[in-house]
Amino acid sequence: MGDQVKIGYSFWGFLGTGITDTPDGGRSHRRTLVDGLRAAGRDIVFLQPNRDLCEAGDDLTGHYRWDVGLPDIDALFLEWRWPIPSRNTTVCGRPGHTCDLHRQAELLDHYTHQLGTPTILWDKDRRLPAADPLRRTRNVTVCEPALYPTPGAVPLLFPVADTAIDAADPTTLVALPRRTPLVYIGNQYDRDHPFDTYFAPTAAQLPHLIAGKWADTRRWPNLNFIGRVPFPRVSAIYADALATVLLLPARYAAAGQMTQRIFEAVLAGCVPLLPADVRGANAFVPSSLIVGDAADVRHRIGWLTEIAGTGDHASLITECLRHLDPFRLSTQLEVLDYLLRHPEPVRS
């Protein structure tokens, strides 16, 4: 990547396994990205509080550096934070307050606006309004983990290590006992409609489990919700499951934005079924795994049960692994390398 650039990296989450009661999906890919940037010669300093140490008791200060001041940096990288009422919009010091939004505002004011520091804003949850002035700020590039991002934004997908994809052995994965036909791991946020359309009717007919924060499950009294699970258990659940359905909020589906669940599942040998209303679905999974409704989901699981452990099953996992290529760390590093070398984006 050439000359070293010092990146100030702002994120509200964890590098390690963190704590169970948190919605931080970034744990699946954040450290992969950071380590990839460092291996490519970038110097990284984290600009939010060290939650790994303060909340999880995980001391990573021997490997990484945090600075809650305003150190000298060459570029600012923000995992975008948005207002969450009663959490980060309250007065500092009040019970339940988190200061991620205030800190982000401080970083933007100092680096982006006052100093003109090149800024990469990664809108991972599609929360930055299309008309936000930041999208038109000369030294700001907005990235989204989507195939079809907001006009003017650049695709930057959630990264998975090339070595993890290359090391996955389909024959070994399909030989594992798959005791649970269907699982879903993820939180309820904006997913009730796809859950009703694709998952719930099938789950009612099969052994299954649903892990994650589902605050209101009264509509589905007979389904097996187990709540949030420790992050390391995610891969174990997928490794015991035959299939999952990749449920996406409508704002993700319309932009072809896939979450980290796809590579968490595939790398554990759990077959991902993807709703047909996801834009660009064929880029993410083989066409045989695209489903139109709950009946399709039930049919595919029946088929998977018949081929489980066979060469056909291994071939299917091989195809799924091939569809992870767009998420490769090497590809995302190429995107960031270009943006760091060309800090003033071309506006569409």
Q: How far apart are CA 85 and CA 89, in angstroms?
A: 6
Number of Cβ atoms within 10 Å of the Cβ of 173: 21
pLDDT in tens, 202-240: 999 999 999 999 999 999 999 999 999 998 999 999 999
Per-residue pLDDT reduced to its tens digit, 19-33: 887 778 889 999 999
Query: Contact 271/317 with Cβ under 8 angstroms?
Result: yes
Give backbone dihedrals phi and psi of 32, rounded to 5 degrees, phi first.
-60, -45
Does the pLDDT at position 348 exceed 90?
no
Give per-residue pLDDT as tens, 248-268.
999 999 999 999 999 999 999
Dihedral (CA of 248, 105, 58, 215) sign: negative
pLDDT tens for each residue of 139-190: 999 999 999 999 999 999 999 999 999 999 999 999 999 999 999 999 999 9
Region of poorest pLDDT, from 16-20, 70-74, 89-93, 331-335: 89-93
Cβ neighbours of residue 173 closer than 8 Å, sequence gap 6 or more: 268, 269, 314, 317
Evaluate whether the domain defined by 6-159+328-341 bears CATH number 3.40.50.
yes
Which CATH number among 3.40.225.10, 3.20.20.150, 3.40.50.10090, 3.40.50.2000 corresponds to the domain 162-327?
A: 3.40.50.2000
Between these two residues, 18 and 304, which has the higher pLDDT value? 304
Residue 2 banded pLDDT, cuts 50, 70, 90:
very low
**The pLDDT of residue 313:** 98
- Considering the entire predicted model, what is its pTM? 0.94
Scanning the chain, the segments in alpha helix (DSSP H) are: 30-39, 51-54, 100-107, 162-167, 170-175, 192-194, 200-203, 233-239, 250-253, 261-267, 294-307, 311-322, 329-341
| In the predicted structure, residue 303 carries a pLDDT above the cut 80 | yes
Q: Which residues contact 311 (CB under 8 A, 6 or more apart)?
A: none
Q: Parse the chain into domains and list their residue ranges.
A: 6-159+328-341, 162-327
CB 104 within 8 A of CB 113: no
Instruction: Answer yes or no: are the C-beta atoms of 48 and 26 closer than 8 Å.
Output: no
Mean pLDDT across the chain, nearest whole number?
A: 94
Structure tokens at 40: 């490519």
